[in-house]
Amino acid sequence: MNVALAQLDFHIGHFEQNTAKMLDAIHQAQLGGAELIVFPELCITGYPPRDFLEFADFLERVQQAVQQVAKACTSIHALVGAPSVNPQLCGKNLFNSAYLLGEGKVKHVIHKTLLPTYDVFDEYRYFEPNKAFECVEVNGKKIAVVICEDSWDIADDPMYTVHPLDELIKENPEYIINLSASPFSHTQHRKRVEMMRWNTKKYRCPMVYVNHVGAQTELIFDGGSMVFNAGGDCCELLPFFKEEVRIVNMQQLKANHPVNEPEAVSLIHDALVLGIRDYFQKLGFKNAILGLSGGIDSAVTCVLAVEALGKENVWGVMMPSPFSSQHSIGDAVQLAKNLGIRYNIVSISEFYQSFLQGLQPLFEGRPFDVTEENIQARCRAVTLMALSNKFGHVLLNTSNKSEAAVGYGTLYGDMCGGLSVLGDVYKTQVYELAHYINRNWEVIPVHTIVKPPSAELRENQKDTDSLPEYDILDKILFQYIEMRKGPAELKQMGFEAAIVDRVLKMVNMNEYKRHQTPPILRVSDKAFGMGRRMPIVAKYLQ
């Protein structure tokens, strides 16, 4: 059997575009001699549709789109992901389903059994789990169809009480096909390979895995669709971060593809570029603006924006204050020239002095402190938002994950923006990205990379005046945020007790700030935002 893997970029709720892409892929697969084309999970709606699933009109358009795609499947079959109505009076109103289309109609509907409700997933909010297991037939070939999580419960301590493939394998299918919506993290490819190898070896059955590509606000889908043979060997691997329709002869699966995990920094780079591009294109935006401080965070953000949007669509604004160094201004200007982007220098000194003068009667007798530092950050935010409003540019936030974690940022100042590009990238990873960007030539001025990081909001300020060294801070943050290690465990790992207590207190006390940040492009296993749900008002570690 020739099976086409349709790894495509779908747009949530854009039924016309989604169906047009699917129809084009079906035509392409037919010309290539495919008997079956497989699309990703919930491809009709885009993933995740969230509370759109509560609108009757939305669900009606889902069914119209399914029927439209079905009519094109006359000489080919298709597996299409979409919600379906639960006919039972009890339980949730919908299933997360895979539709088998052929002969111009819906021939079978398979429902998802395991509904993830953790991290970024919230499927049990909307869907009823499947309880009946049956393989489907396509041109005489019996196929076990599963949907994403249905083949992921492979741990020694399983999360669920049933494994769908344990039931489906009883019918002796010739192939397993998985329709997936697996978001990107820089460790996810390794986990997918492990999942594919575990299933194909256990069930001695070839497996097709088709994933989304493209970004849906915070979530980035990297593609990486695969085919494994019954011996657990990777025979086909589709590209990361690119659309492709590939036809695979399931009778000739040879272990001819390496599955070595690509370098993490290159994956993160490509994911962020795709995340920016899709955020802008799907919302109908074109131009971006950002503050260029001469620091590494804004430099890396600017380069990524140029790669995603084109140099003609990125505007950098330098906003020196009385504490800005000439080196920083020069580095920012040099970066803008290297990239060929528009840039302007708008001094905030007069704005800042005006605020100080107006507040002087209230501040009289009080020393300079973080208040005056924050006023500078907010002057910059007002400047950027004014330009954003006047010229219709989307403001990109340049704060990194380390800063966001410990609250080293100013609300309504440097934390503002329409999209946070580096909010899931630790400071040490930002340096790795900068070196990766400069791998062929010096895009980011070397002085930007080697100088000690500073917010430059007071004389001779350094980040280390307020924070531990980033190589120590980031290790603690990673263990606490991603690995969920508590203070006792961190101290047992060798981290200094006083630093652990200080860092964890900062993380927990600044939850209120993170609830007011822009959407953050997710590139790790545990990003701030939809996948990390912490109470704002709590006493733990404070």
pLDDT tens by residue, 428-455: 999 999 999 999 999 999 999 999 888 7
Residues with Cβ within 8 Å of residue 86, at least 6 apart in sequence? 92, 93, 94, 95, 128
Question: At 115, which CATH number?
Answer: 3.60.110.10
Residue 381 located in a structural domain: yes
Q: Which residues pair with 220 in a beta bridge?
A: 215
Number of folded domains in the chain?
A: 2
pLDDT at 253 over 90: no
308 and 239 in a common domain:
no
pTM (2 d.p.): 0.96
166 & 313 share domain = no
Q: Look at 252-266, 278-292, 386-400 and tell me which has the smallest mean pLDDT.
A: 252-266
Choose between 103 and 259: higher pLDDT: 103
Which pLDDT does position 257 carry in this prediction?
Answer: 64
What number is the average pLDDT over the span 343-361? 96
Q: How far is the C-alpha of 206 from the C-alpha of 194, rounded, in Å? A: 14
Q: What angle do CA 120, 237, 6 make, to 5 degrees?
A: 70
Average pLDDT estimate for 236-244: 96
- Asked if pLDDT for residue 517 goes beyond 70, the answer is yes
CATH number, domain containing residue 420: 3.40.50.620
Is 21 catalytic? The answer is: no
Residue 324 pLDDT greater than 90, yes or no: no
Band (158; pLDDT cuts 50, 70, 90): confident
pLDDT greater than 70 at residue 258: no
Are 44 and 175 in a shared domain?
A: yes
For residues 298 and 328, the model is more confident at 298
Residue 398 structural domain: 267-463
Q: Do 6 and 54 belong to one domain? A: yes
- The confidence score (pLDDT) of residue 259 equals 67
pLDDT tens for 192-226 read: 999 999 999 999 999 999 999 999 999 999 999 99
Q: Closest Cα partner for 274 from 305, 315, 239?
A: 305
Which among 463, 498, 522 is the end of a domain? 463
pLDDT of 334 over the 90 cut: yes
In a domain, 516, yes or no: no
210 in any annotated domain = yes
- Closest by Cα among 487, 481, 4 to 238: 4
Catalytic residue among 35, 41, 149, 174, which?
41
Using pLDDT thresholds of 50, 70 and 90, give the confidence band for residue 542: low
Same structural domain, 224 and 358: no
Kindly state whether residue 508 falls inside one of the protein's structural domains. no
Residue 540 has pLDDT above 80, yes or no: no
Contact 215/274 with Cβ under 8 angstroms? yes
Mean pLDDT for the chain? Answer: 95
Q: Do 282 and 238 have their domain in common?
A: no
Span 56-113, pLDDT tens digits: 999 999 999 999 999 999 999 999 999 999 998 889 999 999 999 999 999 999 999 9
Q: Evaluate whether residue 138 is within a structural domain.
A: yes
**Angle, in degrees to the nearest 10, between helices 470-481 and 497-509:** 60
What 3-state DSSP class applies to 460? coil
Residues 112 and 206 in one domain: yes
pLDDT in tens, 375-432: 999 999 999 999 999 999 999 999 999 999 999 999 999 999 999 999 999 999 999 9
pLDDT of residue 512: 95
For the sheet with 314-318, list strands across it.
342-345, 314-318, 288-291, 394-397, 419-420
Distances (CA, A) of 283 to 269, 276, 386, 414: 22, 11, 20, 23
pLDDT > 80? residue 456? no
For residue 474, being part of any structural domain is answered with: no
Residue 505 lies in a domain: no
The active-site residue out of 148, 235, 379, 416 is 148
Q: Per-residue pLDDT tens for 378-389?
A: 999 999 999 999
Task: Determine what percent of the chain is predicted with pLDDT higher than 70.
Answer: 99
**What is the per-residue pLDDT for 7?**
98
- The DSSP output letter for 240 is B
Looking at residues 241-253, what average pLDDT do you find? 95
Residue 387 has a CB neighbour count (10 Å cut-off) of 17
Mark whether 273 and 245 lie in a shared domain. no
Q: Tell me which of 463, 495, 526 is where a domain ends.
A: 463
Q: At what angle do helices 56-72 and 15-31 cross, to 10 degrees?
A: 20
103 backbone φψ class: left, alpha, beta (φ>0; ψ -120 to 50): left
Respond yes or no: is residue 218 known to be catalytic.
no
Catalytic residue status for 112: yes
Domain C-terminal end among 463, 489, 518: 463
